[in-house]
Amino acid sequence: MTGFTNRKELLSEMQKGDHLDWDIIVIGGGITGAGILREARRRGFNALLLEQQDFSWGTSSRSSKMVHGGLRYLASGDYKLTKESVQERQRLLNEAPGLVDPISFYLTFRKGLFPGRFVMKLILTIYDFFAGTRDNKYFNNEELQKRFHGLDDNKLNGANCFTDAMVDDSRLVLRVLQDSIDDGGYALNYTKVDNLLLTDGKVSGVRIKADDYSDFIELNSRVVINATGAWADRLRNIVNKEKRIRPLRGSHIIISKSLCPISDVLTFFHVEDKRGIYVYPWEGTTVIGTTDLDHDEDLDIEASISDQEVDYLLKAYNSQFPDNPLKSSDILSTWAGVRPVIGSKKNKDPSKERRDHAVWSDNGLITVSGGKLTTFRLIALDVLAAAKESLPKAKDFVDDRMFQTPEITPQSLTPKNRNWGQRLLGRYGMKAIEILKESSQVEKNNLGETEFSLAECRWAVKNEAVEHLDDLLLRRTRLGMCLSNGGSELYPALKEIFLSYESWDEERWQKEVSRYETIWKKHYSLPINT
């Protein structure tokens, strides 16, 4: 199979009575669901993933894009979570270069503020030990200001530098899904689980309703897995009324790289609440984040940054770079994601809630929520262990790598630009060859300050289950967040692509533009009243 599951074809076959029986049905198309599908297929199970919106529509396209062990978990004594995270980070760095890439973090120190230089040195030494590396260093003020021009030197006492990693979180989901589908799995977006099917009080399947189909379809499954993240309680409450999820919103602002041209991550503590804040490079822009607030709004409506969060992040940045302060008009775009945290008490500081995952089994429904992007593989293994008794014997396999090494080098793929070749191989695997073959030379050029190209847009529209314009601009690529005005300058070129591969006409194109601009203005720009 070249691309993703042919959605219309599979739904049509289901309506005719085919593909109704499964070993595993996974509900939720974020990184947790994608990881479960991948591990299920490696073990030979007949598996289907269902997502009510687009793949990675929720938290998995709106994280801070960091693959890390979490120093704060180590500082709070959570050695197990830190060790697992650091080791999984190393695995991803080794298996998916170009998708998951190392980056230096600089944690600054200010005189009189905790933690001090030597406390952090001890913590980072343990951190490196877990990873099997030794790369944390101290940089004095002079060295630090060479990397972060304009950094305020008032009470500055240098910084400790350590290595973690960055990722395009949505593309990570898509790569895992593509490899799962190549291995015989199935995945459908815009297909909602309307209800659970019960046989003698036990969950035995699901009833689905696809966006563009009027009929309900009932599917049978040995195991149904609820991997819906922040939505987990909603589905679980059909069989268990317990509430366990505390949705927490984390928001970010994006500015032009020209306003803060950095190549490393600057991390420091906010002047108000002493929370950790990051300023970092991402896809040709500079990002400032994140917040950590209870999210009490309707989860079915995309999360949006608030005026208060904008002010909070601007204040954080301006405290570090007072000579070149940012204002709201400098903001290129925003994003807000909802973290599915296993809550303890609503009055507990959100930043002090644990970030590990939990798995529950209720009358045949396996629910998983919480956890870190970095440890998605381990989460998937825990879920399948919980479902083991209901499944046939798993297929034996030896190679447990999440991603297979492509049979081509970056240099041979793109001789004139090795880094871009590595990026394509990391994001698409061997399909990178097809992407380049199917595109013109002009389509291979970078768009704006990003490394995205029209070649990738063409591939996505043709092969990656793109149903709407926002799927392409906000998740298959991140052009809508990284270019001015949501990437509207690309409309002529994208229109040609969509009208070539989709059954779209002029009327459909205009409707999609209207839909996308409404979404972008409401959820990826400044608050309307700012």
pTM for this one?
Answer: 0.95
Q: Which CATH number fits domain 102-165+246-342: 3.20.20.70, 3.40.50.10790, 3.40.50.150, 3.30.9.10?
A: 3.30.9.10
Question: Looking at residue 157, what DSSP letter applies?
Answer: E
User: Do 7-59+170-244+354-390 and 102-165+246-342 fold alike per CATH?
Assistant: no
Closest CA to 245 of 349, 351, 379, 344: 344
As a whole number of angstroms, the distance between CA 61 and CA 173 comes to: 9
* Residue 521 CA: distances (Å) to CA of 302, 306, 368, 461, 527: 12, 13, 33, 23, 8
Domain ranges of the chain: 7-59+170-244+354-390, 102-165+246-342, 438-523
Q: At 3, is the secondary structure helix, strand, or coil?
A: coil
pLDDT at 530 over 60: no
Lowest mean pLDDT among 21-35, 78-92, 409-423: 78-92
For the chain, give the percent of residues with pLDDT over 70: 96
For the chain, give the percent of residues with pLDDT over 90: 83
As a whole number of angstroms, the distance between CA 296 and CA 312 comes to: 19
As a whole number of angstroms, the distance between CA 239 and CA 365 comes to: 8
**CATH number 2.40.110.10 given to 7-59+170-244+354-390:** no
pLDDT tens digit string along 252-280? 999 999 999 999 999 999 999 989 999 99
- The pLDDT of residue 124 is 83
pLDDT tens digit string along 279-305? 999 999 999 999 999 999 999 999 999
pLDDT tens digit string along 371-415? 989 999 999 999 999 999 999 999 998 888 899 889 899 999 999
